[in-house]
A and B are shown apart, each in its own frame.
Chain A
């Protein structure tokens, strides 16, 4: 009754390949954007921002990045945590002014970048590191590659722990984001308003989604998917596997780096690399894209939303309603996430995105059965 395509014809290729070909979908998208940009900032408070919205937006960016690498290009990476750390620490150094030393002498110090460019530099630095750690993918495939990315994960965490330059020689080894503002509004630090951090992250998330969508719908996306589906055939029909894989690593790492920078500077404010960016983080983002749907932009968002919501929902149900101790709830969370991964892989390997597509197919006919 609501969701109809009758009368909705696409009369040009431009129309045919747009993101939302069905009118209903397009309008729904505009409504969601409107609510997100115009309405939410007025009703948001610290609790909602910190427990749900900020992590959702930030993890969505990481999920987009990892989905490009794993879902579209088929290169499995378990180094997401380490790469987020690169983003975070790069952002920190640029925020506090990068200091260049040689032979024990301070040569010069870059000026402090504002928070916006610091986050961008976080992405850029991570992109470079991503290309470096992506080089083995030219020789190594499948599991071997996944395990090789673990080398990146462990090495990077060790690096940010041991090399004091990264945390500006502080005694605790932690990095904290100094207070910074944008156009007079505080974005980092303890006293920022919730709507400011929200809008800042929302900006990055929307832009990331648009860029990811554009890249995956065109030649780059097709090259990546060709490599994923059959890399030998891809090479024979003209795809340069070196460039395709390295661009996948580069773009993916850029997004993951931005996510890491935001995670540190805007969401947490202070991080210790071993806790915040461990292999658990790598698995978390991987689970997001599996549950959400590999090779799907919508899936990245769905998975991020699901895995951000789940612990909060479990805590509300388990601790607040049933009165169970928190450690039991934490264990239950492991059980449920693990079981869900298995269930999704068995029943719907294309994740929530596929369930959504099937639901929309049914919705087109509703209320008729066929």
Chain B
């Protein structure tokens, strides 16, 4: 096992840094149900970490713990070498963690551009008074952030629909807009909850390309939940496997592929 403080360079020339986020003994309960049972794993800077497992394993709940939406009853989240105190989801976002959602959570009353601009909200600081005057500081900030948003829109090739109300978009484009919104925040860590769900082969290839480009160009650390094994094996540097709230595998894609527990879980072999 590599020392957590070391950086290393992968086969295709990307630099993976030291551990940036660590989950230590997380247990999450809803009433009598234990959704996550004593799970620990880490995420390294710049890597693509996949979280996989059968349905109901607790993967989305894990992402929600990382986002700060669920507070685990036991365990700690460590971020950049320090224990993260209990904080509200919006404070977590301000630390540089952005995400997409399993069932699309776009703002349906707004256009694509406005949705992407909401991703910039953590960077927009002018006060209410300046905003009411608009000319001057508020407009400057708006234009500067618009430029960043437009870069993301270019990157994800959604220029043509930037003024369309998102409610009118087909599913695949909505997912792309959600990714744009998350990227607009210029996050250090990007959490993707089933980004390829419901897509056909072509769309999956596009989305995979975007994910790899994000990681390559911006150096963003990515944690993604995904069901398509082909995608997981091709994209990720390391994989965490969950089943019934427990961790049953943790390692490179090849290591995990050969793990008997993982195979059993997917085939539906009964657990003790």
Chain A partners chain B? yes
Collect the chain B residues with CB atoms within 8 Å of residue A14's CB. 139, 143
Instruction: For A218, give its contact among B68, B90, B106, B142 (CB under 8 Å).
Output: B142
Instruction: Say yes or no: A219-B69 contact (C-beta < 8 A), given A236-B90, A240-B90.
Output: no
B128 touches A220 (CB 8 A): yes
Collect the chain B residues with CB atoms within 8 Å of residue A251's CB. 128
User: What's the nearest-Cβ distance from chain B to residue A7, in Å?
Assistant: 19
A235 and B121 CA atoms in complex are apart in Å by 11
A237 touches B118 (CB 8 A): yes
Instruction: Say yes or no: A237-B131 contact (C-beta < 8 A), given A13-B147, A214-B138, A218-B142.
Output: no
Collect the chain A residues with CB atoms within 8 Å of residue B89's CB. 235-236
Collect the chain B residues with CB atoms within 8 Å of residue A236's CB. 67-69, 89-90, 92-93, 99, 105
B124 touches A225 (CB 8 A): no
A239 and B90 CA atoms in complex are apart in Å by 6
A247 lies within 8 A of chain B by Cβ: yes
Collect the chain A residues with CB atoms within 8 Å of residue B8's CB. none
A233 and B141 CA atoms in complex are apart in Å by 24
A251 and B127 CA atoms in complex are apart in Å by 13
Task: From A13, A237, A239, A295, name the one whose CB has the most chain B CB atoms within 10 angstroms.
Answer: A237
A214 touches B131 (CB 8 A): yes
B126 lies within 8 A of chain A by Cβ: yes
A313 lies within 8 A of chain B by Cβ: no
B119 lies within 8 A of chain A by Cβ: yes
Number of A-B contacts (CB under 8 A): 103
User: What's the nearest-Cβ distance from chain A to residue B195, in Å?
Assistant: 16
Collect the chain A residues with CB atoms within 8 Å of residue B106's CB. 229-230, 233
Interface residues of B in 112-145 (CB under 8 A from A): 114, 117-119, 121-122, 124, 126, 128, 131-134, 138-139, 141-143
Size band of the A side of the interface?
Answer: 20 to 34
A214 touches B132 (CB 8 A): yes
Main secondary structure of the interface of B (DSSP, over half): helix
As a 0/1 sequence over residues 59 to 94 of chain B, the CB contacts with chain A under 8 angstroms (1 = contact) are 000000001110000000000000000001110111
B185 touches A230 (CB 8 A): no
A232 lies within 8 A of chain B by Cβ: yes
A229 and B94 CA atoms in complex are apart in Å by 21
A229 touches B109 (CB 8 A): yes
Collect the chain A residues with CB atoms within 8 Å of residue B133's CB. 214
A237 and B183 CA atoms in complex are apart in Å by 11
B247 lies within 8 A of chain A by Cβ: no
A223 and B117 CA atoms in complex are apart in Å by 10
Interface residues of B in 170-187 (CB under 8 A from A): 181-182, 185
Collect the chain A residues with CB atoms within 8 Å of residue B101's CB. 233
A247 and B129 CA atoms in complex are apart in Å by 12
Q: Point out residues on A near B: beta carbons under 8 Å.
A: 13-14, 17, 211, 214-215, 217-220, 222-223, 225-226, 228-230, 232-241, 247, 251, 295
A-B CB contact pairs (8 Å), 9 listed: A214-B131, A214-B132, A219-B126, A225-B107, A232-B69, A237-B118, A238-B94, A238-B185, A239-B121
Task: Identify 7 new A-B residue pairs, CB closer than 8 A, beyond the known A228-B109, A236-B68, A237-B93.
Answer: A17-B146, A220-B128, A232-B69, A233-B106, A235-B88, A236-B105, A239-B90
